[in-house]
Homo-oligomer: A and B are copies of this chain.
């Protein structure tokens, strides 16, 4: 992805991670790997962890520490009801943006 992506990801990456968690609980390392797999090639490791700390502090997710056979214990995050409400709000804003941009793209060129 281009260099612009860094700024464009702000706020959106959070929505992406919450959307992932809305499907199933997951832990940081797993999420990072999934993102890279989906083409978010240069998402930094630390970025996801910092994001998870933030959403936890805001009470959008519940956390459970689960031992792993292959390394240190995992912190498994799951979306709670407050997080679900927040995610819906995210989708509303996202829809608004896609509509405006779609219009601009059609009219623009």
Chain B residues with CB under 8 A of A91: 105
Say what secondary structure dominates the interface of chain A.
helix
**How distant is the Cα of A56 from the Cα of B5 in the complex, in angstroms?**
20
> Which B-chain residue is minimally distant from A100 (CB atoms)?
B38
Known contacts being A22-B108, A39-B100, is A93 close to B2, with CB within 8 Å?
A: yes
The answer to whether A7 and B4 have CB atoms under 8 Å apart is no
User: Would you call A104 and B20 a contact (CB within 8 A)?
Assistant: yes
Which 10 residue pairs are nearest across A and B when measured between Cβ atoms? A7-B11, A8-B11, A10-B10, A19-B104, A22-B108, A2-B89, A19-B108, A5-B93, A23-B108, A7-B10
Q: How many copies does the complex hold?
A: 2
Q: How many residues of A contact B (CB 8 A)?
A: 38
A109: B residues at CB distance < 8 A: 22
- Interface residues in chain A, defined as those with a beta carbon under 8 Å from any beta carbon in chain B: 1-2, 4-12, 14-16, 19-20, 22-23, 38-40, 86, 89-94, 96-98, 100-101, 104-105, 107-109
